[in-house]
Structure 1
Amino acid sequence: MSLRAKLTLGTATAASLLLLAGTATAAQPGAPGIGDPYYPSAGNGGYDVSHYDIRLNYQPANDNLSGTTTILAKTTQDLTRFNLDFLLKASSVRINNKVARFTQAGGELVVDPRATLRAGTALTIVVTYSDVPSSHAVDGYTSWKRTPDGALAIDQPDIAPWWFPSNNHPTDKATFDVSVAVPSGVEVISNGTFGGTTQQINGWTRWRYRSAQPQATYLAFVAIGQFEIRQSTDAAGRPVLNAYSERLGADHGASVASIERTPEVTEFLEESFGPYPFEAQGGVATPGIGFALENQTRSTYDAAFFRRGSNTYVVAHEVAHQWFGDSVSVRRWRDIWLNEGFASYAEFLWSEHVGEGTAQENADYLYSLYPADDPFWTVLPGDPGAANQFDGAVYDRGAMAVHALRAEIGDEAFFGLLKEWLAGHRNGDASIEDFVALAERVSGRQLDELFRIWLFTPEKPAAAPGSAGGAQARTAVAPAEPKSYRKIRETRELLAAHDH
């Protein structure tokens, strides 16, 4: 759910020209949106963020969240004012230790620094606020999830505006420090490395986390409540932190049996994707969110994924996102196939690894599952539209598209391509067009037709991905369902459930 209903507070208009030695553009307001076609008001223009320091207090009893967020940024143009994406009620804003004027409306915090900020100026922006996050909704929906024992700040593509002010788009990543004080006896989980707790004199405890690698704002999360926390290290010596809600009930055992295998799944995926890109890993299991999300270093899973026993397929999906989506993020939300197609294909790879069905068998079965007249085939994984961004076709047809590419260029070129792609765009963002260009360069083949058929054609391809010669569909006998598929299907339906 994007803040697409935000009020547009004006666009950056052409400024008057200064006739000096040449012409230059005068200072002007930063744009109220980055310009993403799916969510035009997401993000902001005129500055680039390098770090967020989020220091908060949260009272589960009344859902009050208060504190300050300090933003380190640099202007990218001469600015007369700029926007932050934020829903909660701010009480003060300071820029480089000077009080700034501000207004709030429609999910935008508009900051007036009282004087022009020249391009290249280092900014320390301090926003103080206090509010009830669950009282704020956009199009009738709130991404902040209040629970019986606390709250969860988790959703895609938007969660940040419900708990910290930001430049809310994946193309402006930053490092994070998150510090949350809660009544003692309540636990807090966030991204990155756990920095410990401090007992406060008021009977509260402060929890600290640090994300040392650049992170998109929607991947920053916090889970507050009653959790069992398990800490260990993986084979590379990285810290592993897993957390299990005390409300899991009968799903507790299967949740632990799945999420505790995160380092094993990570080791396996490193063989295909290259070195794990972050400093920590882990997962969180909790009831009531209805989906799983790849929060950077600490994916979060609804307990329903484990209702029928352990499920390492959803773990493989979310761990794969640490490369595809977290380390290499979408340039625009239309590029979502780069996230979901490859994370879904990781489930095929895991199925093959554990002997429950080859990638080809999974691709064949999926292809046979949807008849030609099924609306499934009308959704374009390469440009699904905001309304279908998390449609099942983005996952399933997206995974078939990946397998079609693998079959076309061969394993050596395919896995070499993945490693080069992830290494070359690490900690950045990229587009489908970037990926196609690299695939053609690595393979030495012209691949426009393959991508057109699998990503951009609103009909069922004539041939299953990987069909001999790529020309004829396998129509003689419907392929058997792979052993893995029931789990994969369960996983897929829940993963797509957060399409708001």
Structure 2
Amino acid sequence: MRLRTRAGLGAVTTGMATVLLAATATAAPAPGAAGAGDPYYPFAGNGGYDVAHYDVRLTYQPATDQLSGTTTILATTTQELSSFDLDFGLAVREIRVNNVNATFRTVREGELEVTPAKPLAGNQPVTVVVTYADTPSTVTIDGHTAWKKTPDGALAVDEPQNAQWWYPSSDHPTDKASYDISVEVPDDVAALSNGTLVRKTKNRAGWTRWNWRSTQPQNTYATTLEVGKFEVNEATTPSGQPFVTAYDPTTGDSLGAARASVERTPEIIEFLASQFGEYPFEAQGGVVSTGLSFALEAQTRPVYSDKFFVSGTNTSVVAHENAHQWFGDSVSLGRWSDIWLNEGFASYAEYLWSEHQGEGTAAELAQYVYDSYPADDAFWQVLPGDPGAANQFDDAVYDRGALAVQALRTEVGDEAFFTILRTWVAEHRGDDARISDFVALAEQVSGKPLQQLFQTWLFTAGKPSTGPNGTTALRAAAQPKSYPAIQRTHQQLAAGESR
């Protein structure tokens, strides 16, 4: 750079000062948003930072339901932060930000505001360490608890939230991270979580520490913890992946049926991969418990209520929850109103599995469901494309959602249909997306206008006059054909919801 005269330098200096002052004025540190902007759950997730990794290190005593430990959060700021929020409901002892004590306060149930000793610069790594201890089963947020105390342990299994009862987080599916989950429990119980069991260690008499690692992006509600006197089996799948299953021995007469269903997980995943593309994760498995009434798509290791197996084997629910590994876990919803992207496709996977097993084709099962609900049934008033928070897990989201998938298949044909599914999971792997993104992709791949089809099946109240296979509804006097796979699934859903 050429030298300037003193007067010129003075002018330049003045100009630079003006620019710097303006920049400082417009980029002053500000609080991070208290939520991720989800209309259903305004305070779910947090703004101002993106989490890359959670290290959750806990000790849990089932006898007293005492949980204590630390969670270390590795994140990157997305703005200059004077403070930021964490979604968490337990009693906190200390929070350090970049190794310096921070102040914190509860601003509402399940929401902590953290103020670092000095503001955080934008686009910089930040380390947050939260130390805490509490009795999770006594903590309620918005009138309920997602922590399920059992006679010999506890379950941190629920949707749309469960993290707030055992580790602080940015609790929304759009903020994914990798995980290390380390839980010390008494020797006579197991501590199960997601991913790969890295090791078990004993550091003191009577206690064992279970260390789990999830290397692929994982959303918070798909992160789970199950503590209890489970029978734990460790094996390797034919593809070489770790395969860990666990069964509550108090399942009783249904234990054999549960094992006969869940132990087929690698076979079911192999089939689903032939439909959707490569399995997106590093491990497989499942947990069966008497401590809950639904099933949940915990990443790599779904959790099932024993109630799903009271009438015998039920591989439909195993197909459903493992389909979520693609639709919901690998490709997560962008907003909770997009729940159809999870449940519609997981329910349709049951149809595909039924066809593969020779128990009724996808088209037959879809027609059966369509004909089973009269036009005046309240079922047709729930909109799978935007059901509202109160109806997020309504039957219509699952069943009508699956009918929408069959209607798409009928309209575009098998070649385009399966290309759409495989392209969707490949393009959005490890990320999140919206229903509008799926519609755009379906139109792009098929070359057909599909807005009206999706409007009819996802966003319009009332029974569509044309069924999912392009045929009109059965006459009122007609009786739909009975399909055991569909009946079995719905009988089980009456006792335990498959999420």
TM-score, normalised via structure 1 length: 0.94
Cα deviation code 1:275-297 (max 9, x no counterpart): 00000010000113000000000
Amino acid at match of 1:93: I
Distance in 2, matches of 1:404 and 1:188, equals: 43
- Distance apart, 1:228 and its partner CA: 0.6
- Alignment-mate amino acid for residue 66 of structure 2: N
Aligned to 1:52: 54
Match of 1:110 in 2: 113
In structure 2, the partner of 1:458 is 461
Deviation at 1:139, TM superposition (A): 3.2
Deviation at 1:24, TM superposition (A): 2.5
Equivalent residue, structure 2, for 1:371? 374
Deviation at 1:108, TM superposition (A): 1.2
Match of 1:151 in 2: 154
Letter in 1 for 2:223: A
The amino acid that maps onto 1:205 is T
Question: In the alignment, which residue of structure 1 is the partner of 2:70?
Answer: 68
Paired AA for residue 488 in structure 2:
K
2: CA distance, partners of 1:217 / 1:186 = 24
Matching residue of 1:119: 122
Structure 1 or 2, whichever has the larger Rg, is 2
Counterpart for residue 393 of structure 1: 396
Q: Does 1:480 align with 2:468?
A: no
Q: SS state of the match for residue 247, structure 1?
A: helix
- Which of 94, 97, 103 matches 2:96? 94
Supply the distance in 2 between the matched residues of 1:490 and 1:115 (Cα, whole angstroms): 57
Q: 1:19 to 1:290 in 2, by over 3 A?
A: same
The amino acid of 1:481's aligned partner reads S
> Does the alignment pair 1:326 with 2:332?
no
State the 1:116 CA deviation. Answer: 1.1
Query: Is the contact between residue 100 and residue 117 of structure 2 (CA under 8 Å) also seen in structure 1?
Result: no
Residue 35 of structure 1 corresponds to which residue in structure 2?
37
Distance of 2:495 and 2:123 partners within structure 1: 45
2:403 matches 1:404: no
Q: Secondary structure at the match of 2:208?
A: strand
Residue 298 (structure 1) aligned with residue 305 (structure 2): no
Hey, what's the Cα distance between the residues in 1 that align with 2:67 and 2:225? 12
RMSD: 1.5
Per the alignment, in what secondary structure is the counterpart of residue 454 of structure 1? helix
Unaligned runs of 5+ in 1: 1-16
| More off after superposition, 107-116 vs 218-227 | 107-116
Give 1:166's aligned amino acid. Answer: S
Report the number of matched residues.
479
Output aligned runs, 1:254-403, within 5 Å. 254-403=257-406
Q: Which residue of 2 aligns with 1:11?
A: none
Question: Is 1:20–2:19 an aligned residue pair?
Answer: no
Distance of 1:21 and 1:354 partners within structure 2? 65
> Structure 2: which amino acid aligns with 1:486?
Q
| In structure 2, distance between residues paired with 1:400 and 1:496 | 19
Judged with a 3 Å threshold, the aligned counterparts in structure 2 of structure 1 residues 302 and 22 are, in CA distance, closer, same or farther, namely closer
Single out whichever of 99-108 and 268-277 deviates more from structure 2. 99-108
Are the structure 2 counterparts of residues 18 and 83 from structure 1 closer, same or farther at C-alpha, using a change threshold of 3 Å? farther
Q: Please say if residues 370 and 467 of structure 2, whose CA atoms lie closer than 8 Å, have aligned partners that are also in contact.
A: yes
Task: Give the 3 Å change call, closer, same or farther, for CA 343–491 of structure 1 in structure 2.
Answer: farther
The residue identity in structure 2 corresponding to 1:315 is V
Is the CA contact (8 Å cut-off) linking 2:372 and 2:480 kept in structure 1?
A: no
Runs of 4+ in 1 over 6 A off after TM superposition: none
* Structure-1 separation of matches of 2:247 and 2:381: 39
In structure 2, how many angstroms separate the alpha carbons of the residues matched to 1:143 and 1:27?
35
Is the Cα contact below 8 Å between 1:194 and 1:210 reproduced in 2? yes
Matched residue type, 1:62: T
Residues 442-497 of structure 1, C-alpha deviations (whole Å, 9 max, x = no match): 000000110011000100000111125xxx33438333012312112124445547
Letter in 2 for 1:35: G
**Percent of aligned pairs sharing the same letter:** 58
Deviation string, structure 1 residues 58-104 (Cα, Å, up to 9, x no partner): 00010000000000001000000000000000100011111111112
Change (3 A) 1:494 1:450: farther
Q: Which residue of 2 aligns with 1:132?
A: 135
Matched, 1:227 2:219: no
Listed one character per residue, the Cα deviations across residues 334-383 of structure 1 (whole Å, up to 9, x for unaligned) are 00000000000000001101111111111111111111110000000000
- CA displacement at 1:204 relative to structure 2: 0.8
CA distance in 2, matches of 1:326, 1:139: 25
In the other structure, the counterpart of 1:8 is none
Aligned ranges 1:194-233 → 2 under 5 Å: 194-233=197-236
Which digits, 9 at most, give the CA deviation of each residue in 1:105-157, with x for residues without a partner? 42112111021101012111100000000010123311000000000000000
Give the Cα separation in 1 of the matches to 2:104 and 2:77.
18
2-structure distance, mates of 1:83, 1:495: 34
How far off is 1:22 after superposition? 9.5
Report the secondary structure of 1:155's partner residue. Answer: coil
CA distance in 1, matches of 2:318, 2:74: 34
Equivalent position amino acid for 2:487 in 1: R
CA distance, structure 2, for counterparts of residue 268 and residue 493 of structure 1 = 27
The range that moved more, 226-235 or 414-423, is 226-235
Q: CA deviation at 1:23?
A: 6.8
Q: In structure 1, the residue corresponding to 2:358 is in which secondary structure?
A: coil
- Give the counterpart letter for 1:340 in structure 2: E
